[in-house]
Amino acid sequence: MASRHLLNPLAPLGVPSPSALDGIPQELERDLRAYGALLVQQAGIMLKASQVVMATAQVLFQRFWFVTSLKHFGIRDVGMGALFLASKLEEAPLRIRDIVNCFSYLDALVAYCSSPPYPPASTFEAYAPMDYFATEFYDRKDAMVIAEMQILKRLAFQTQCGLPYGHLVNYLQVLELAGENDLVRRCWGFCNDLLQTAAPALYPQGTLALASIYLATRLSTPPIALPLEPVPWWTHFDTTEDEVVDVAEMLLRLYRQWGSDPRDAGAEDEGVKRDSVWKRAGRIPVTKAGVRELLAGDGSGDADRTPR
């Protein structure tokens, strides 16, 4: 167990996050975590970054919010910094100006596109980049570089990020489920979506993979039974039933909150799922000023509908 923790430093369970101590409601924190991770993922897709880069960036992003509050940093800036840092850690560096332009495009999309679905990534090719000598560009670039430095500083340079994908492949083979293509695709989708929750910073990557298998088998039609004899299946993978169920519940709560259907996870066409996600995203502040304004208002989310 200790070696797994060294590969993927984890936050203690049952301890309130800095955001919770600052009075940020759980639902708002889940929204901010999910939306920031979603921005990282979409920017990575548009920049043709590898899945490893995007997943590493999301793990760093989730981990960061266990050492600082969402009142002190904006999710957009930290998302940019995490993606920039992850691209260097995985030796596939992305250009600063490309990251800034991608996040600027996504901001504009959420602010002005009132009727999703989200357009294909190729639409970004037609996006007019901001003036590289403009104050806005320099402000965003500086914010990204500062966020990268803050991630390194506050995480004490603990940037090792274990990912669940290798465990998922091995576990599916052990359970003799690797040949079920639809099931494998859904498991992969659940692993991706779990990166939008706090789970990667709380549980070992193997537990995330097991929770994905648990959800996928339960949601299959008909459900696929996992072996409970001579011993329950999860005991073979150095975890407990409570841990698997807790991680699964974290993802299901996010789906319910965002109006998504868990059966869409890993589907080739996730248009319906993405539709509901971007509708809710327009109500979520991406800056620390927006978060503070939202908390000072009535809490309905109407105080900050557009990213600023």
pLDDT for position 3: 41
Domain that holds residue 175: 165-264
Same domain, yes or no: 178 and 145:
no
Query: What is the residue whose two structure tokens read 């940019």?
Result: 80
Of the candidates 147, 260, 153, the residue with the CA atom closest to the CA atom of residue 197: 260
Same domain, yes or no: 24 and 71:
yes
Same domain, yes or no: 280 and 257:
no
Same domain, yes or no: 125 and 204:
no
Of the candidates 139, 111, 224, the residue with the CA atom closest to the CA atom of residue 178: 224
Asked if 193 contacts 55 with a C-beta cutoff of 8 angstroms, the reply is: no
What average pLDDT score do residues 207-235 get?
Answer: 92
Query: Which two tokens mark 134?
Result: 């403009």
Same domain, yes or no: 135 and 283:
yes
Task: Judge whether residue 53 has pLDDT over 70.
Answer: yes
CA angle 175, 178, 183 (to 5 degrees): 100
Average pLDDT score, the chain: 85
* Distance from C-alpha of 287 to C-alpha of 229, rounded to nearest angstrom: 51
**Position 308 in a domain:** no
DSSP 114: -
**Position 6 in a domain:** no
* Distance from C-alpha of 71 to C-alpha of 22, rounded to nearest angstrom: 7
pLDDT for position 275: 54
**CATH number (domain holding residue 283):** 1.10.472.10
**Position 306 in a domain:** no
Same domain, yes or no: 182 and 76:
no
| pLDDT tens digits for range 229-285 | 888 999 989 899 999 999 999 999 999 888 777 776 655 444 444 555 666 777 788
* Distance from C-alpha of 12 to C-alpha of 202, rounded to nearest angstrom: 7
What average pLDDT score do residues 135-162 get?
Answer: 94
**Position 208 in a domain:** yes
Q: How confident is the model at residue 211 (pLDDT cuts 50, 70, 90)?
A: very high
Same domain, yes or no: 253 and 237:
yes
pLDDT for position 125: 58
* Distance from C-alpha of 183 to C-alpha of 175, rounded to nearest angstrom: 12
* Distance from C-alpha of 145 to C-alpha of 80, rounded to nearest angstrom: 9
Same domain, yes or no: 33 and 77:
yes
State what percent of residues in the chain have pLDDT above 70: 83
pLDDT for position 145: 97
pLDDT for position 274: 56
What average pLDDT score do residues 190-195 get?
Answer: 95
Same domain, yes or no: 230 and 173:
yes
Query: Which two tokens mark 8?
Result: 């993927």
State what percent of residues in the chain have pLDDT above 90: 60
**Position 305 in a domain:** no
**Position 241 in a domain:** yes
**Position 48 in a domain:** yes
Same domain, yes or no: 33 and 150:
yes
Number of domains within the chain: 2
pTM: 0.87
Query: What is the residue whose two structure tokens read 């105080």?
Result: 303
Type of residue at 152 = L
Same domain, yes or no: 282 and 138:
yes
Q: How confident is the model at residue 108 (pLDDT cuts 50, 70, 90)?
A: confident
Query: Which two tokens mark 258?
Result: 């965002």
| pLDDT tens digits for range 164-173 | 999 999 999 9
Same domain, yes or no: 51 and 135:
yes
Task: Judge whether residue 115 has pLDDT over 60.
Answer: no
**Position 12 in a domain:** no
3-state SS class at 183: helix
* Distance from C-alpha of 206 to C-alpha of 238, rounded to nearest angstrom: 9
